[in-house]
Structure 1
Amino acid sequence: MFFKSKPANIPSAAEALPGRDVQMPVKADHFVNGEALKGPYPANAETIYFALGCFWGAERLFWEMPGVIVTAVGYQGGSTPNPSYEEVCSGRTGHTEAVKVVFDPARISLDSLLKTFWEEHDPTQGMRQGNDVGTQYRSAIYTTSPEQAEAVDKSRATYQTALSARGLGMITTEIKPAPEFFFAETYHQQYLAKNPAGYCGLQGTGVSCPIGLGVSAA
């Protein structure tokens, strides 16, 4: 079922669609590297979640980075349990299109992931990315530890300074501890590896983010 109009604001839990108790079916392995989509992950792995517009292109950004163990796309930040893609597209679940990034901090730093996040989209646009309009396209970072939250806050301040120096607006990225992540349907997982000519609407501001030191100390 598709919806003809989308609300401009995130619905409250009372306003959101009811969803379902059953999880969306998803293939067990990553289409590109064969890693287990839902784990178990290596003991030293960390997880963080990014939303930066259409999740097809966003996921590809991160699975191509050395040190990233596995990625998956899903729905996050809303109230509807186990939503379908059509429901998220309606704007009536409150979710944004998110990418789960599981990485090895001994091989790639969180700063490097954050640098890619900030530079590869426009985090000042609110409920949209370019021509993609709606709450599902809002920018977000969902953290899984206090240390991640501190690093994210610092990176936001750093990038805001860079954006302001170029006359651009304020960052609207939603930043908070990670709410429940609902895996999207298998069709959407690693979509651009299965459909190389598929849509990718990502477009950055052209402003470099002066963070990212590469590999963390082991």
Structure 2
Amino acid sequence: MLFGRTPVLPTPEEALSGRAEPAFSVPDRHTVLGNPLLGPYPPHLEVADFALGCFWGAERKFWQTEGVWTTLVGYQGGHTPNPTYDEACSGLTGHTEAVRVVFNPATVSYATLLKLFWESHNPTQGFRQGNDVGTQYRSAIYTHSADQATAAAASRDAYQQVLTASGHGTITTEILSADGRPFYPAEGYHQQYLDKNPGGYCGIGGTGVSCPIGVAKADS
């Protein structure tokens, strides 16, 4: 999967076996927002999962959004239980680098988060985001309800229209239920990485094309 070969997702049989328990601990609280990283979360909050390339810069996009209560980075959409960063980067777990966003829907809508997601990366690049190449950089939305699934699909279709009109290719983002696709938190040093390392690497960059969803709620 490395050294110039085209990245390929492993089958469940090819994936690393992983482990029954995490190989590391996760910090208790968000370094910027101050709230707990792990659930259970207060009942008035909702959870959204997004993958849009290197999770360092992706996480910062969301924690800077008003109404977001906490964020954490991790691995999702693969086969290996409780993977490590090195394992995910090997391409042999099937996971992508994801951000879990816990938000207050009374303050920020899921549509607004979708708009931020689409505009913060190039969703047409398959197993790649900019110079970052590998299955762990693929674009994905893992939904937590039927309403989220409907909204995510509608936003993809709306954004595809404006991307096509702007000369971009076909969206490759996978939209799947989070049910059966556990989110495994990443190692502590990855959590809020760009808060701890303000000059650190951020590979996040959009197409420059505005997504025509969520604007009314965001601007009202």
What's the offset of the Cα at 1:22?
A: 1.7
Distance 1:14 1:202 in 2: 32
TM-score by length of 2: 0.94
Moved over 4 A (4+): 3-7
Residue ranges of structure 2 left out of the alignment (5+ in a row) = none
Three-state SS of the structure 2 residue aligned to 1:28 is: coil
What's the offset of the Cα at 1:216?
A: 11
The amino acid that maps onto 1:185 is: E
Residue equivalent to 1:27 = 27
TM-score by length of 1: 0.95
The amino acid that maps onto 1:9 is: V
Distance 1:43 1:78 in 2: 28
The amino acid that maps onto 2:86 is: E
Sort the Cα spacing of 1:192 and 1:80 in 2 relative to 1 into closer, same or farther, 3 A: same
The amino acid that maps onto 2:51 is: A
The amino acid that maps onto 2:198 is: P
Residue identity over aligned pairs, in percent, reads 60
Give CA deviations for 1:18-74 in whole Å, capped at 9, x if unaligned.
111121311111111110111231211111100000000000000010000100000
Mapping of residues 20-99 of structure 1, within 5 Å: 20-23=19-22, 24-99=24-99
Three-state SS of the structure 2 residue aligned to 1:29 is: coil
Three-state SS of the structure 1 residue aligned to 2:217 is: coil
Sort the Cα spacing of 1:11 and 1:105 in 2 relative to 1 into closer, same or farther, 3 A: same
Residue equivalent to 2:202 = 200
The amino acid that maps onto 1:41 is: Y
Three-state SS of the structure 2 residue aligned to 1:214 is: helix
The amino acid that maps onto 2:191 is: Q
Residue equivalent to 2:12 = 13
CA RMSD of superposed structures (Å): 1.7
Sort the Cα spacing of 1:139 and 1:4 in 2 relative to 1 into closer, same or farther, 3 A: closer
Instruction: Give the aligned length.
Output: 215
